[in-house]
Amino acid sequence: MDLHIALDGPGDLAARIYRQLLEAILDGRLRPGERLPASRELARGLQVSRNTVCVAYERLTAEGFLVARVGAGTYVGDAQRARVRRRAAPTGGTVRPRPPWDSLAPAPHPTGPPAPYDFGVGMPDSALFPLATWRRLLTAELRSSALRVAGYGDPAGHPALRAAIARYVGVSRSVRADAEDVLITQGAQQALDLLGRVLIAPGDQVAVEEPGYPPARRLFSALGARVIGVPVDAEGLDVTALPDGARVVYVTPSHQFPLGVPMSAARRTALLAWADRHGSVIVEDDYDSEFRFSARPLQPLQSLDRTGRVVYVGTFSKTLSPVLRAGFLVAPAALRTALRAARQLTDWHGDPAAQAALARLIDSGELSRHVRKATRVYAARHERLTTALGEGFAGLLTPVPSTAGLHLCARLAPDVPADPRAVQAAARRLGVTVETLAAYCADRPQAGLVLGYGMIPAERIPEGLRLLRRGLEEVLAA
C-alpha cells in the first residue's frame, strides 16, 4: 500500500522519516510482518535522496522495529509487538451532533457465539438459505462483460427485480403493482427512512403501534417526528385511539409485531377510512407474513386502498437472509419521483449484480419453493413451541394466538409476581436467549416474553423451555 509520510517538523529529513515510521509502528498502522516500500521507491515518492531513507530504515532496524531480509525487502519486526497500541480517537472538543442524534446510540448488537438455546427474535434459520442456488445466480451476474458496461443505475433499482417483485407480491399477496410502483431498498429499514425523508417534517405526528417495532419508532423520532404509540388489541391497531393530526400511521397488519395478531377486516376498513378523512399516509409493513401456518391471510391494506394512501413495505431479510440487505416498497404514483430522488441522494442505488440475481431467483420459482420449504420447518417449530408452552407453563405464561411468522408472544399471568427482565437474565445464565415484551413498549410496558423460533431446531425447543421454566422458578423463589 502507499505509505504517507509528512516531512514537516523538527530535525533533518532522515529524522522526520524515522519519527513518522516509528509512530506508525507504535500505534498499529504498520503491523508486524508488513512489508515497507523499497528505499529507492520511497525516496522517489518523497522526492528525497535514497540515502536519506536508508538512514531512517537503518536506525529503525538497529532498534528492532524493522527487519531487513536480503533479497526480500524491509519488514516491520515483531519484537516490539507488545508496544504496538492503536491511538485512541481524539476526545472532547466542541463539535456535537444536533438533537435528537446527540442522545441516540446504535441498538446493542450481539457478539460472540449464540446461546445454546436461542429464542432470539427476527432471524431466519441460515441453514435453510438456498446457498448453492444463490451462488450460481450471483456468479452468473458477475461477468466481465456486465462489468464493462456497468455504471450508476436507476435509483429505483434493477428493472428486472422491480418487475419480478411486482409479479411476486401480486400473486402471493394480492398487491396491486407494476414495476414502476416498486423501489428497491436495502431492507425494510431503508424503506422507512426514505418514506420519512419525503413525508415527515420536524414536529409532524407519526402514529405507531404500542407495543411495536422499536427501530421504526427510533427512526421516526430521529427524523424529528412526534411519535405517538397507539394501543393494539386482539383485532390489531385501535383506530379510535389514533391522534387526529397524525401525518403517517405505521402498522404491521398481517402479523402484528410483536404480538402476532392480524388486523381484522373491520379495522382495516376503518383505518383506510380514517386516513382518507385526515389526509394521512399509511405505511404497511408486511412483516414476515410469508410464513403462514393456518388461516387464510387477509388482504393487505394496499390492495384495499382506492385513494393512494398506502405504501407497502416488504423485505427479504426474513424469507432469505438479512445478509442480503434486500427490501422494497410499493408506492402510490404521487410519491415515486420524491422517493427515487431521496434514494439517489442517500446511496444512489444498491448492488446491481445481487439485484439481478434476486430477480432470477424469483422468476425461476426458486424463491417460492424456498418459502414453502421454510414454512414447513417453521410450522413444526411453531407447533412444538406452542404445545410446550401450554404444557409446561400453565398458569404462568399465556401464549398470544398467532398463525404466522418467526416468533411467538406469551404474556405473564397477572398473579405471577415475576419481573420479565429478571426472568430473561436468569434464562441467559442457563444458556437461553429470550426477549421481554416490555422491550417493544415505549409508553405502556407489558409483562411477557417474546420467543423466536427462527434459529432454534424443533428438537431443542423442549429443553430450552425447560431451562426457561427453571429460570422463572428461580425468580419466583428469590
pLDDT the model gives residue 452? 96
Average pLDDT over residues 47-67: 93
Cell of 269: 376498513
User: Phi/psi at 184 (nearest 5 deg)?
Assistant: -80, 140
CA distances from 413 to 79, 176, 393, 396, 472 (A): 62, 42, 10, 5, 12
Average pLDDT over residues 64-89: 73
Which residues are CB-contacts of 57 (< 8 A; sequence separation ≥ 6)?
A: 36, 39, 66, 68, 74
pLDDT the model gives residue 38? 92
Question: Mind listing the pLDDT tens digit for each residue in 181-220?
Answer: 999 999 999 999 999 999 999 999 999 999 999 999 999 9
Taking residue 248's Cβ as centre, other Cβ atoms within 10 Å add up to: 23
pLDDT the model gives residue 125? 95
Question: Mind listing the pLDDT tens digit for each residue in 131-148?
Answer: 999 999 999 998 866 666
pLDDT the model gives residue 114? 85
Eight-state DSSP code of residue 80? T
pTM confidence score: 0.86
Question: Mind listing the pLDDT tens digit for each residue in 277-333?
Answer: 999 999 999 988 889 988 677 889 999 999 999 999 999 999 999 999 999 999 999
Average pLDDT over all residues of the chain: 92
Confidence category of residue 108, pLDDT binned at 50, 70, 90: confident
Cell of 460: 431443542
Which residues are CB-contacts of 50 (< 8 A; sequence separation ≥ 6)?
A: 39, 40, 43
Which residues are CB-contacts of 329 (< 8 A; sequence separation ≥ 6)?
A: 182, 183, 185, 191, 194, 195, 311, 312, 313, 314, 339
Question: Mind listing the pLDDT tens digit for each residue in 399-445?
Answer: 999 989 999 999 999 999 999 999 999 999 999 999 999 999 998 89
**Does the pLDDT at position 66 exceed 80?**
yes
Cell of 257: 409485531
**Does the pLDDT at position 19 exceed 50?**
yes
- Give counts: helices (H), strands (E), the chain: 15, 16
Cα separation, 41 vs 28, in Å, equals 22
Cα separation, 370 vs 346, in Å, equals 32
Rg over alpha carbons for the chain, rounded to the nearest Å, is: 28
pLDDT the model gives residue 241? 98
pLDDT the model gives residue 109? 75
Cell of 85: 497500541
